[in-house]
Amino acid sequence: MFRRSAAVLVTALLSSALIAAAPPADPTALLRDAVAAYSTYSYSGQVQNTDFGTNHTEAVLFRIEHRAPDMTRRWYLAPEPLFGDSIISHGDASYDIDQHNHRIIFTKDDALDDQVAEDDNFGLLLHNYRATMGPDEDVAGRSALTVLLVNKYTGQTTMRISLDKQTKLVLQKERYSPSGAVAEQMRFEQISYTKAFPAALFSVPSAGYTTIQGTFHGLPSNDLRAVVKTAGFEARGPQYLPDGFLPIAGDVSDIKGTRTLHLLYSDGLRSVSLFQNARGAPLDASHYTVRPAKVGPHDAKYLEDGSMTLVAWAADGLHFELVGELSREEMLHIAASVAP
Amino acid sequence: MMHLTNEQLIDYMHGELNPQQDAAVFEHMESCEACRAEYDAELSVTELLRAYAREDERELPSTVKAAIWSQVRSARPPVWSRITEWIRPAVAVPVAAAIALAAYFGTSYLGPQGVPSIEAGYYLQDHQALNGTIPFNDHSGTPADLMNASPVDNQQAAVVVPPVEYTADVSP
């Protein structure tokens, strides 16, 4: 009896010693693994995504089937207008299947293949954010590790990411606004890892639908000097950006005959885009609630789409649109600093 | 110095190069007079061809025109058009009103110089598209194209497949 108790005690002591000796999880390594997990693991599950805007909240519920490395189908369950619609993604190509209007909107985004830019931006993220471990938790029935991304300049937690302990797949993600409130949340309600998907699941229907060519996004350039030269007008840029933000990409595109320069600034996690054109193409915001604002002395339009905000104004013959996930005050501050 | 090929110049002229190539060609022509001259020559040839095509469209051979008019005059109106003729005023008035309204609201989306407006959704989508390489930025929120009655159509919308019966299983 005594011998058995002693053995149990020794085993318990050894186990606790082993646990104590286990190295603490490295949050930076976990983030790297999380980025790679999407193209490594196949799974099926249900996801809820919620955007908390200032005026209203938008929630989307969808079933997802993902076959690694890059084939995904999302079936929308809510809100009601989206029920039955789905999106099939094959790498950088995406097919939005609109069941209600019998049409498929085909879009392509070459930036999704840009591994060099992804690595650069991950470096920028680590430069501007401190990754720390949060408490472990359960998400969708899976044990998860939590990593907090704290902005090095403001000390604020900007994102909280919960990773599957086993696969490091992102199971939950919360983005916080500067006030500390949740601005956006993505969460798996359920998940199971499987590769057993019928091939037809990812095949795009070829009959019964009208296919519409949506927007094609070419590979952006990180040579912004060259991009700005092709704009055809004297481009402007912000003199103020939040700490850690750098210009990271840009392109020039023709939208309805209007040559538009797009410059993207980011700190590796948050980003802001400045669009400008010299043709005076006005903004059509008929699908949104527009509020008046001021950019310096100029009248501006301000609108929100979930956690994204847009400010549009005109100055000195140029039309500007600033889009980002920053606060209204931050956006107007950046807008007011745009100069030659 | 390497010079631009004719194909590169033509693609540049038609805006068919990707942004990097477009920027490279633009930059090269800034410093290379030979290529600039070649480009201007291509441009003027294209303009000439366009002008010729316009001219050609305007002037049909007189024999062709005569044949068309003869067909039009001799054609008897089909039965359905004779039946619907008497309701024409009842249809014409609302149609004219609808056209007037469409013209009013349609042109209100144009800028001061008649420049077409650009949908706010385009900027939001383009921002997200360029964001694709930023870690943990895979925005899986509301898909605007599926939510709105009409997709963001600032690019040319091309109909590729006519609608016919769909047989595959698409229900969730």
pLDDT tens digits along A61-72: 999 999 999 999
The band of B114, judged by pLDDT with boundaries at 50, 70 and 90, is low
| pLDDT attached to residue B81 | 59
Q: What is the mean pLDDT of residues B1-22?
A: 79
- If you measure CA to CA, which chain A residue comes closest to B114? A281
- Amino acid symbol at B67: A
Are B19 and A257 within 8 A, CB to CB? Answer: no
With a cut of 80, say whether residue A186 has pLDDT above it.
Answer: yes
What helix, strand, coil percent values describe chain B, rounded to 5?
Answer: 60, 0, 35
* Whether B161 and A207 lie within 8 Å, measured CB to CB: yes
pLDDT tier at B48, thresholds 50, 70, 90: low
Q: How does residue A273 score in pLDDT terms, banded at 50, 70 and 90?
A: very high
Higher pLDDT, B166 or A115: A115
Q: CB–CB of A266 and B146 under 8 A? A: no
Calpha distance B44→B50 (Å, rounded): 10
Closest CB to A208: pick one of B144, B166, B172: B166
User: Residue A269 pLDDT more than 80?
Assistant: yes
> ipTM exceeding 0.85?
no
Return all residues near B5 (Cβ < 8 A) that are at least 6 apart: none
Q: What is the pLDDT of residue A185?
A: 94
**Distance (Å) from the alpha carbon of B2 to chain A's nearest alpha carbon:** 19
Structure tokens given for B62: 């007189």
Cβ-in-10-Å burial (0-12, 13-18, 19+) of A230 comes to buried
Q: What is the pLDDT of residue A112?
A: 73
CA separation, residue B43 to residues A233, B11, B14, B17, B156 (Å): 21, 12, 10, 16, 23
Model pLDDT, residue A124: 95
Q: What is the pLDDT of residue B50?
A: 61
Size of interface A-B (CB pairs under 8 A): 264
Tell me how far the alpha carbon of residue A89 is from its chain's centroid.
Answer: 16
User: Cα-flanking dihedrals φ and ψ of residue A203, to 5°?
Assistant: -90, 140
Q: Which of B132, B163, B168 sits opposite A109 (nearest CB)?
A: B132
Minimal Cα–Cα distance from A263 to chain B, Å?
A: 9
**Structure-derived torsion over alpha carbons of residues A128, A134, A139, A145, reported in degrees to the nearest 10:** 80
Q: Is A129 or A20 the better-scoring residue by pLDDT?
A: A129
- Give residue-wise pLDDT tens across range A227-266: 888 888 889 999 999 999 999 988 888 877 788 999 999 9
Q: Enumerate residues 30 to 49 of chain B having a beta carbon within 8 A of any beta carbon in chain A.
A: 30
Chain A contacts of B168, Cβ < 8 Å? 200, 203, 205
Residue B157 has pLDDT above 80, yes or no: no
Do the Cβ atoms of B117 and B111 come closer than 8 Å? yes
Q: Quick check: B158 and A106 in contact, CB under 8 A?
A: no
Q: What is the pLDDT of residue A191?
A: 96
Helices and strands per DSSP (H, E), number in chain A:
5, 22
Q: Which of residues 53-112 of B touch A (CB under 8 A)?
A: 109-112
B65 burial type by CB count under 10 A (0-12 exposed, 13-18 middle, 19+ buried): exposed
The single residue listed with the structure tokens 């092709």 is: A230
Specify the range with the lowest mean pLDDT, choosing from A5-9, A122-126, A208-212.
Answer: A5-9
> Which pLDDT band holds residue B169 (cuts at 50, 70, 90)?
very low
Collect all residues with Cβ–Cβ distance below 8 Å to A303 and sequence separation of at least 6: A285, A288, A289, A290, A291, A309, A310, B120
Q: How confident is the model at residue A114 (pLDDT cuts 50, 70, 90)?
A: confident
- The three-state secondary structure class of A79 is coil
**What is the pLDDT averaged over residues A170-198?**
92
Searching chain A, which residue's CA lies closest to the CA of residue B119?
Answer: A284
Confidence of residue A180 (pLDDT cuts 50, 70, 90): confident
Out of A20-34, A274-288, B20-34, B66-80, pick the least confident: B66-80
Mean of pLDDT values over A270-295: 90
Please tell me the distance in Å from A116's CA to the nearest CA on chain B: 9
Chain A residues whose CB is inside 8 A of the B128 CB are 308
Interface contact A323-B124, CB threshold 8 A: yes
**Average pLDDT over all residues of chain A:** 88
CA distance B105 to chain A (A): 12
pTM for the full predicted model: 0.69
Residue in the block written with tokens 């805007």? A53
Q: Which helix (H) or strand (E) holds B106?
A: helix B88-107
pLDDT above 70 (res A156)? yes
Phi, psi for A31 (deg, rounded to 5): -65, -40
Q: What is the pLDDT, as a whole number, of residue A197?
A: 86
N-to-C CA span, chain B: 59
- Touching A: B residues 139-158, CB under 8 Å: 139-149, 151-158
Instruction: Please state, in angstroms and rounded to a whole number, the distance separating the CA atoms of residues A46 and A28.
Output: 27
pLDDT band at residue B158, thresholds of 50, 70 and 90? very low
Cβ–Cβ gap A282/B115 under 8 Å:
yes
Mutate to test the interface with A, among B133, B152, B155 (most CBs of A within 10 A): B133
> What percent of chain A has a predicted confidence (pLDDT) above 90?
56
Q: Which residues of A touch B126 (CB under 8 A)?
A: 215, 217, 253, 262, 273, 275, 323
Residue B11, chain A, CB below 8 Å: the answer is no
Helix (H, G, I), strand (E, B) or coil at A233: coil
Top-confidence residue, B115 or A31? A31
Q: Which residue's entry shows tokens 């490594």? A: A40
Higher per-residue confidence, B154 vs A313: A313
Q: Which pLDDT belongs to residue A292?
A: 93
Sheet holding A43-52, edge to edge: A129-139, A142-151, A157-164, A170-176, A182-193, A43-52, A57-67, A71-78, A86-90, A93-98, A103-109, A210-217
